[in-house]
Amino acid sequence: QVHLVESGGGSVQAGGSLSLSCAASGFPYDKYYCMGWFRQAPGKKRERVALFDSDGSTSYIDSVKGRFTVSRDNAENTLYLQMSSLKPEDTAMYYCAAEFAPCEVITETRADFGYWGQGTQVSVSS
């Protein structure tokens, strides 16, 4: 059973930094996977922030490029999102997600991720 637990959210002033963690368990070691960070602000649709593929490739939405970095520690089975130069518009609930398919396939087929964490709140004040 796949289980994802996010941590590291909090409140910060604009220009500050935060690092989010997503502890994963129950991953089959021999399966291809895609993990991602998503966010949803009140009254807005959920948006994909960053993806990490099991082949090590990453992708980001334009609004966070150069400010956010997604990485994974395989030994710890933990996905990270390092956020810097935070802006008030980055305020949202951040979720970690996983699916057992290449990120490219999920993106091209617009498939949803099957496994989600409970979320962690990030608040950026101006």
Mean pLDDT of 26-51: 91
pLDDT tens-digit series, residues 54-98: 999 999 999 999 999 999 998 889 999 999 999 999 999 999 999
Please compute the mean of the pLDDT values over residues 42-55 and round it to a whole number: 95
Report the 10 Å Cβ neighbour count for 5.
Answer: 14
Residue-wise pLDDT for 107-126, tens only, equals 888 888 999 999 999 999 99
How much is the pLDDT for 111?
86
pLDDT for the residue numbered 98: 96
Question: Residue 29's pLDDT is what?
Answer: 67
Scored b (16 or more CB within 10 A) or e, 49-74 reads: bbbbbbeeeebbeeebeeebebebee
pLDDT at residue 5 above 70?
A: yes
Q: pLDDT for 7-25, tens place per residue?
A: 999 999 999 999 999 999 9
30 has pLDDT over 80:
no
β-strands 120-125, 10-13: how paired?
Answer: parallel
